[in-house]
Amino acid sequence: MREYLLVFAVAAAVTFLTTPVARWIAFRIGAVAWPRARDVHATPTPRLGGLAMLAGLYAGLEVADRLPFLSVVSQDWSETRAVLVAGTLICLLGVADDRWELDSLTKLAGQVAAAGVMVLLGVQWSFAIDRDSQTTISFGPETAVPLSILATLILVNAMNFIDGLDGLAAGVAAIAAGATFYFAYQIAVINGFYRASPAALLAAVTAGVCVGFLPHNFNPARLFMGDSGSMLIGLLSAASMISVTGQVAYGGYAGPSRQLPSLIPLAIPLAVLAVPVLDFGLAVIRRTKAGRSPFAADKMHLHHRILSIGNSHVRAVLLMYFWAALVGFGGVAASFSDSPLPILAATVGVGLLALVALLLTGQRAARRA
């Protein structure tokens, strides 16, 4: 555990220290977000936060490769190399978009290429559970490759879609990475696996780069992560999720919640990243029904709606943090509980109470206005 904490700290420190450099580069090359009708910021703000996050990723994995306990991850598995190569590609794609605002098809093609590289280099959703026999099914490449690429594309764009308020995407991704780390580490502890795993390492690094970037990005932001950052943390989130839910042989899962083992590989990624995935799904449905491209920007995301009922920028972000932590850690805790249903019911109940409180607060604010 101490080596994981060291990797987290190094990734956070390097990201924090290199963010001013990324800000300077953004101004030099003109990668600046000018206020638009759908934006909530009022002053021109530089992008390219992804460059600092990429530096933190490289530093964290380099330190891990030199530690006695975690060095076996790069020696025995290919995930870290795959993430470094694919992460660099998708960050460079984001840099181009932050500077020149690429069209949606070009950006999607680049995302598919980066996701394909990561998957072909070893990050693949390789196992699932047979619901009837509770045995492990091994996917062939004809299934594992497209399934893994699709999962990566969904998470990349989900993170991109929620990056609409200062500090929102970085905070939600950090919370999701924390929940993923907890799940991956507990899987190893309960099943007696070696505790150095690609999923836990990638989750620790992802949390580190997000936490290191957050002081520069929280309201009022001095730098936006831009697409270079949001797509990078989406890819990192996908890599850690696929590693823990797709490559662990769940037929041997020894967690207490034996009545729900077939649901765990699907439920955990949905729970941990429920907020961005839900926002992504609603956006795609909303835009498609209106006859528009799913990637056409609008001002109807969940965080925009929270703002519209009278909440401040910071309160809206903190509420999204709360829901991400509630659903993510609640889902993971339920998967390791002897009685998962009460935990799930409590999670839903607290979430509904928070929603009612939010609506009542918004109504009072509207009446005062």
Query: In sequence order, what are the beta bridge partners of 45?
Result: 33
Query: pLDDT (tens digit, 0 to 9) for every residue of the chain, 369 residues total?
Result: 889 999 999 999 999 999 999 999 999 999 998 876 555 556 889 999 999 999 999 999 999 999 999 999 988 888 999 999 999 999 999 999 999 989 989 999 999 999 999 999 989 887 665 555 555 667 778 888 998 999 899 889 888 888 878 898 899 899 989 988 988 888 888 777 788 889 899 999 999 999 999 999 998 889 999 999 999 999 999 999 888 775 455 444 444 444 444 445 455 556 656 666 677 777 778 778 777 777 666 666 666 666 666 667 788 888 888 888 888 888 778 777 777 777 777 877 787 677 667 656 655 655 565
Check whether 311 is labelled as a binding-site residue: no
- Give me the pLDDT at residue 260, please: 46
Q: 129 phi and psi, to 5 degrees?
A: -110, 135
- Give me the pLDDT at residue 159, please: 87
3-state secondary structure the chain: CHHHHHHHHHHHHHHHHHHHHHHHHHHHHCCEECCCCCCCCCCCEECCHHHHHHHHHHHHHHHHHCCCCCHHHHHHCCHHHHHHHHHHHHHHHHHHHHHHCCCHHHHHHHHHHHHHHHHHCCCCCCEEECCCCCCEEECCHHHHHHHHHHHHHHHHHHHHHHCCCCCHHHHHHHHHHHHHHHHHHHHHHHHCCCCCCHHHHHHHHHHHHHHHHHHHHCCCCCCCCHHHHHHHHHHHHHHHHHHHHHCCCHHHCCCCCCCCHHHHHHHHHHHHCHHHHHHHHHHHHHHHHCCCCCCCCCCCCHHHHHHHCCCCHHHHHHHHHHHHHHHHHHHHHHHCCCCHHHHHHHHHHHHHHHHHHHHHHHHHHHHHC
Query: In sequence order, what are the beta bridge partners of 128?
Result: 137
CA distance 196 to 193: 9
Q: How far apart are the first and last CA of the chain?
A: 50
What angle do helix axes 49-65 and 2-29 make, rounded to 10 degrees? 150
* Contact (CB, 8 A) for 211 and 174: yes
CA distance 119 to 242: 10
CA distance 196 to 188: 8
Residue 189's CB is within 10 A of a number of other CB atoms, namely 12
CA distance 256 to 258: 6
Longest dimension (CA), the chain: 61
* Burial class of 262 by CB neighbour count within 10 A (0 to 12, 13 to 18, 19+): middle
Check whether 227 is labelled as a binding-site residue: yes
CA distance 238 to 334: 21
Cβ within 8 Å of residue 226, ≥6 positions away: 31, 33, 47, 48, 49, 50, 94, 95, 97, 98
CA distance 294 to 285: 8
- Give me the pLDDT at residue 259, please: 44
Q: Kindly report the pTM of this predicted structure.
A: 0.85
Short-list 272, 239, 254, CA closest to 77: 239
* Contact (CB, 8 A) for 127 and 137: yes
Structure-block tokens of residue 150: 């699709």
- Give me the pLDDT at residue 273, please: 63
